[in-house]
Amino acid sequence: MQAYASARHLPPGAVAGLRPGSLHLASVPATGVSWAIAGFTPSPAAGPRALAGFQDGASTGVFTQGAGQPWRLVQAAGAGGGCGPAVPAAIRKAWHLAALAGCRATAAPARRAAANARPQAASAGTAGQSIAHVALGQVGVSDTPAVTNFGGVDCDPYSTLVGAPGPNADGCGFDQDHAVENENEEWCSDFAQWAWRQAGITTGMNVINAGSVSFYDWGLDQGETMPVDSGTPAPGDAVVFFPPGPINPYYADHVGIVSALNPDGTVNLVDGDFVGAANISVQYNTGVSLTSWAAQVWSPGEQWLLVTPPSAPQQAAPSAAITGPRAAVAGTAIGLKAWATQLGGSVTGRRWTFGDGRNTNATGEKVSHVFVSAGFYTVTMTATSSLGTAATGTWNVDVTAP
């Protein structure tokens, strides 16, 4: 626990303990090196940003210990112990870690399979089918720069596109698919939120945030029952995964999107922020039996529940746009203005992020911001309304040195 918390720069008290059944040990007699893999549960004291950092398999660590040395975190492994070369094959075998399908698959076949599934997903014309169609269209979108574990940056476009309040662009690159600067945040919930928004879901969108558990909170607000390890999945459903024990209101491991229910009862999932052999990406996982798959990805006893998108007609999303300069000089303030309206209601909040890793997020119709360093930044403005709807506008700023 100490090695994990220290290496991930977590605040004191952020780690509540080990996940039951997640700790495995092995040693290599020829080298005298011991190996361990363990999953950790966060404490409510961790705070929202740190809690999001445990998601998507980042709560699992691989460790080594030389003779007479303390344990050292080799990598925050990701789902199923990760895909990278950090864990020797003999150690994986000793731990009975199966290679996940996402580790074996290459990007091109997954994209083709998802593309072939899109027309079927859209055929029924329901909100859920629209969500599945949108999600399938993102399969293969990946981190920039490419990474194969959660030990460093995790740079994605969706955190930018939904205006996540805590990310920054430090160490990130530009996403060609969405024409925004990527942001550094564990992003399964940001991806699922974006897919719901793109499919026209607006009800209660001000409730959903970077934490996977916020989809569960949304379901509670909507009066859904959401039984554990039960229910019939449908396209567009959000599947929220929880550690063993009572379902808690502050943390979940992951949220994915159901794209199809198969005749044999398995489902096809679209999962944002999953580790693969070459990068962290949006993955397409087919033929998934949710209970056994969840145990394989995280640890024995992992639980899941279904959150169903609304079927009723949706309020229009707010309009959200930004105007201001496209270029700036580092160290010099620039002014930006939000343009936001809500049909049938009123705009109640405008939240700004600037992507520069500083504690200078802002609110209001007009803001002034100083970019300290040269670089390319995507500014976001998220408008929330009296109807509980939300929408995000983006604005790219090229900052040059003075």
Domain extent listing, the chain? 2-99, 103-307, 319-400
**pLDDT higher than threshold 80 for residue 230:** yes
Asked whether the beta carbons of 62 and 245 are under 8 A apart, the reply is no
Over residues 336-372, the pLDDT tens digits come to: 999 999 999 999 999 999 988 766 789 999 999 999 9
How much is the average pLDDT of 92-119? 77
Superfamily of domain 319-400: Immunoglobulins (2.60.40.10)
Q: How far is CA 320 from the centre of its chain?
A: 23
Tokens of 194: 């974006």
pTM: 0.92
The structure tokens 């930006």 sit at 336
Cα(253)–Cα(188) distance, integer angstroms:
10
**pLDDT higher than threshold 80 for residue 107:** no
Q: Which residue has the higher pLDDT, 173 or 164?
A: 173
Give the model's pLDDT for residue 169: 83
**pLDDT higher than threshold 70 for residue 13:** yes
Alpha helix (H) ranges present in 72-207? 89-94, 101-104, 107-122, 127-136, 158-161, 188-198
Residue 67 class from Cβ within 10 Å (0-12 exposed, 13-18 middle, 19+ buried)?
exposed
Give the model's pLDDT for residue 291: 94
| % of the chain surpassing 70 pLDDT | 94
**pLDDT higher than threshold 70 for residue 104:** no
**Residue 313 pLDDT class (50, 70, 90 cuts):** very high
Of the ranges 69-78, 87-96, 370-379, the best mean pLDDT one: 370-379
The CA-to-CA distance between both ends of the chain, in Å, stands at 45
How much is the average pLDDT of 285-311? 92
Sign of CA dihedral 269, 237, 156, 16: negative
Question: Which residues lie closer than 8 Å to 220 by C-beta, 6 or more apart?
Answer: 226
**Residue 143 pLDDT class (50, 70, 90 cuts):** very high
Give the model's pLDDT for residue 191: 98
Give the model's pLDDT for residue 105: 61
Task: For 128-158, give the secondary structure using H, E and C.
Answer: HHHHHHHHHCCCCCECCCCCCCCCCCCEECH
**Residue 102 pLDDT class (50, 70, 90 cuts):** low
- Which DSSP string corresponds to 290-325? HHHHHHHHS-TT-EEEEEPPP-SPPPPPPEEEEES-
**pLDDT higher than threshold 90 for residue 167:** no
| % of the chain surpassing 90 pLDDT | 69
**pLDDT higher than threshold 90 for residue 31:** no
How far, CA to CA in Å, does 253 sit from each of 8, 71, 85, 352, 381?
Answer: 17, 25, 24, 27, 27
Least confident of 89-93, 183-187, 358-362, 372-376: 358-362
What's phi and psi for 52, nearest 5 deg?
-60, -30
**Residue 300 pLDDT class (50, 70, 90 cuts):** confident
Residue type, 212: S
For residue 79, give the DSSP letter. Answer: G
Q: How far is CA 181 from the centre of its chain?
A: 16
Least confident of 84-88, 210-214, 268-272: 84-88
Tokens of 85: 């070369």
Asked whether the beta carbons of 50 and 185 are under 8 A apart, the reply is no
**pLDDT higher than threshold 80 for residue 52:** yes
